[in-house]
Amino acid sequence: GAGVSQSPSNKVTEKGKDVELRCDPISGHTALYWYRQSLGQGLEFLIYFQGNSAPDKSGLPSDRFSAERTGGSVSTLTIQRTQQEDSAVYLCASSKGGSTNEKLFFGSGTQLSVL
């Protein structure tokens, strides 16, 4: 596709359930980021993938969070045993080469609501 695609747009789940969020980056982009944004707040870095390198997982808030990127393309962010504080917009972004002098292209995000 022409842009970064995220699905679902909205997800409502019950506390304790697992959720999977999907990100389809721009074709050919080697770098992929996940961020989390709580209501009215800034972006919180979660994880970064660059090519075949080991991902930078330093932003994952707990071991309930994990992410993978298959074939250097699509990424899935998984949250196990969701908690109410996990409610936020989860944003995915990609860039062509992964250098910090390249701009990020963002998806529209997944609004996660944990009841």
Partner 1 sequence: SQQGEEDPQALSIQEGENATMNCSYKTSINNLQWYRQNSGRGLVHLILIRSNEREKHSGRLRVTLDTSKKSSSLLITASRAADTASYFCATEAGAQKLVFGQGTRLTINP
Our finding on whether 91 is near partner 1 (CB under 8 A) is: yes
Our finding on whether 26 is near partner 1 (CB under 8 A) is: no
Candidates 43, 73, 76, 96; binder of partner 1 (CB under 8 A) is 43
| Spatial contact of 106 and 4, defined as CB atoms under 8 Å apart | yes
77 φψ region: left (φ > 0), alpha (ψ -120 to 50), beta (else): beta
To partner 1, the closest distance from the beta carbon of 92 in angstroms equals 9
Our finding on whether 104 is near partner 1 (CB under 8 A) is: yes
Which residues lie across from 45 on neighbouring strands?
A: 35
Applying CB under 8 A, the span of 15-23, 68-76, 79-87, 105-113 interacting with partner 1 comes to 105-113
3-state secondary structure of 76: strand
CA distance 106 to 24: 11
Candidates 20, 56, 72, 73; binder of partner 1 (CB under 8 A) is 56
Q: Is 64 exposed, middle or buried (0-12, 13-18, 19+ CB in 10 A)?
A: middle
User: How big is the site for partner 1, counted in residues (CB under 8 A)?
Assistant: 28
Where on the chain is the footprint of partner 1 (CB under 8 A)? 4, 31, 33, 35, 37, 39, 41-43, 45, 48, 50, 56, 58, 89, 91, 93, 98-101, 103-109
